[in-house]
Amino acid sequence: MNILVINCGSSSLKYQVINSDTEQCIAKGLCERIGIDGSQITYAPAGGEKEVTVTPMPDHTEAIRLVLEALTNEKTGVVKSLDEIGAVGHRVVHGGEKFASSTLITDEVMAAIEECNDLAPLHNPANIIGINACKALMPGTPMVAVFDTAFHQTMPEEAYMYGLPYEYYKKYKIRRYGFHGTSHSYVSKRAAEVLGKKYEDLKIIVCHLGNGASISAVKNGKCVDTSMGLTPLEGLIMGTRSGDIDPAIMEFIAHKENKSIDDIMTILNKKSGVLGLSDNLSSDFRDLEQGHNNGDVNATRTLKTYCYRVAKYIGSYVAAMNGVDVICFTAGVGENASLVRRMVCEYLGYLGVTIDAEANGRRGEDIAISTPDSKTTVMVIPTNEELAIARETVRLV
Ligand code: ADP
């Protein structure tokens, strides 16, 4: 069966078609600047030429219509008709406490997703628009919602509660939810598979280090803690997000710089992280690595602070699980930045970690980068959220 996987943002939409028998991606692409001047669609059939077409996309329905047109195009399409797409899997960012697993989309499910809009005001409304656009153009095709938060719903209360008045949990459900769940689930399972061990027997820490970054503790196949919180702002230092800070800093900057709460949120979400910490050198780790190698102090300070935070979280999750068997690195930075992995692992001597420099230099493989005699196994597992969404979709339809 072919599964269309949709990841819909407020002005962009990523898509992939995955053949569930071979688990291969047969086409993928991206619509950008939806509802803005200069919108364009990128379409790349597997093994074919990538096409970029600039064309008006006033809304998401038009974007999805163009995606379906590209997929069924007589010359460059990958399916003859939409009948060859068996189901659609939608990434949905926030499932609140309602969704502990993926679900077939019904009217009740749509209403429940809408109820989570408050918790992810930038993401969930866009996800809903994407689902509605698909429903309009592919009536009768089953659709599945796969939630970023679902995998983390197994966290115990002590891991998800904040030290805030309890009434805010009761009234507004303010608690830790965690994100990137599809990736944490996929990577931890894959690590067990590659090692030939039972998932349920392992204590695994997954470091998902991309533009957004989060880390999770997976004990006996269940997530027991994760670094992102009510929103994706908490935890590690990210590309442009601050991660953990003293909350009083917000008031301090607001007073000093005469800024509103919205201004402060923009600073914490868009101007902080490695971008801000490097004094605006870059949010991209390729630039930071290069800067560090050329002796740029901004780059060095940023990398050291970033890696220290990751190492501190690993330590706290070792404590939470009373040990760790496997530590996995994934996502853009985790999969590619060997320097970051090396700098993080330098803190892990107490876990008996020794890194194989040659293996740490490789790319694009599911691979152990620790030596065979390392007491804790350290791995790189490239994430594949689209495949995980496609698998969930097949399971439910
Ligand atoms: P997201 O999905 O959160 O947007 P990704 O997981 O794609 O992010 O990660 C993107 C980041 O990965 C880039 O901003 C960059 O910092 C980092 N990255 C990508 N390729 C490399 C590389 N070759 N070396 C170091 N860092 C890289």
| Residue having the nearest C-alpha atom to atom 15 of ligand 1 | 284
| Three-state secondary structure readout of the chain | CEEEEEEECCCCEEEEEEECCCCEEEEEEEEECCCCCCCEEEEEECCCCCEEEECCCCCHHHHHHHHHHHHHCCCCCCCCCHHHEEEEEEEECCCCCCCCCCEECCHHHHHHHHHCHHHCCCCHHHHHHHHHHHHHHCCCCCEEEEECCHHHHHCCHHHHCCCCCHHHHHHHCCCCCCCCHHHHHHHHHHHHHHHCCCHHHCEEEEEEECCCEEEEEEECCEEEEECCCCCCCCCCCCCCCCCCCCCHHHHHHHHHHCCCHHHHHHHHHHCCHHHHHCCCCCCCHHHHHHHHHCCCHHHHHHHHHHHHHHHHHHHHHHHHHCCCCEEEEEHHHHHHCHHHHHHHHCCHHHHCCCECHHHHCCCCCCEECECCCCCCEEEECCCCHHHHHHHHHHHHC
**Based on the structure, what is the number of domains in the chain?**
2
Instruction: Find the 114 Cα to ligand 1 centroid distance in Å.
Output: 31
Average pLDDT of the chain? Answer: 96
d(CA 331, ligand 1 centre) in Å: 7
Q: What is the mean predicted confidence (pLDDT) over 21-42? A: 95
Regarding whether 347 and 263 lie in a shared domain, the answer is yes
Evaluate if residue 122 carries a pLDDT over 90: no
Does residue 361 lie within any of the structural domains? yes
Residue to mutate, 123, 186, 282, 285, ligand 1, most ligand atoms under 8 Å from C-beta? 285
Is pLDDT at 317 greater than 90 in this prediction?
yes
Let me know whether 205 and 343 are in one domain: yes
Q: Indicate if 296 belongs to the active site.
A: no
pLDDT of residue 11: 87
Res. 204: pLDDT tops 90: yes
Q: What is the pLDDT of residue 292?
A: 98
Q: What is the CATH number of the domain that holds 357?
A: 3.30.420.40
- Residue 396 placed within a domain: no
Confidence tier at 10 by pLDDT (50, 70, 90): confident
Q: What is the pLDDT of residue 119?
A: 87
Ligand 1 atom having least distance to the Cα of 337: 25
Question: Given pLDDT bands bounded at 50, 70 and 90, which one contains residue 213?
Answer: very high
Q: Is the CB of 99 under 6 A from ligand 1?
A: no
Q: Which residue puts its alpha carbon closest to atom 3 of ligand 1?
A: 211
Domain membership of residue 371 as a residue range: 198-380
pLDDT of residue 61: 92
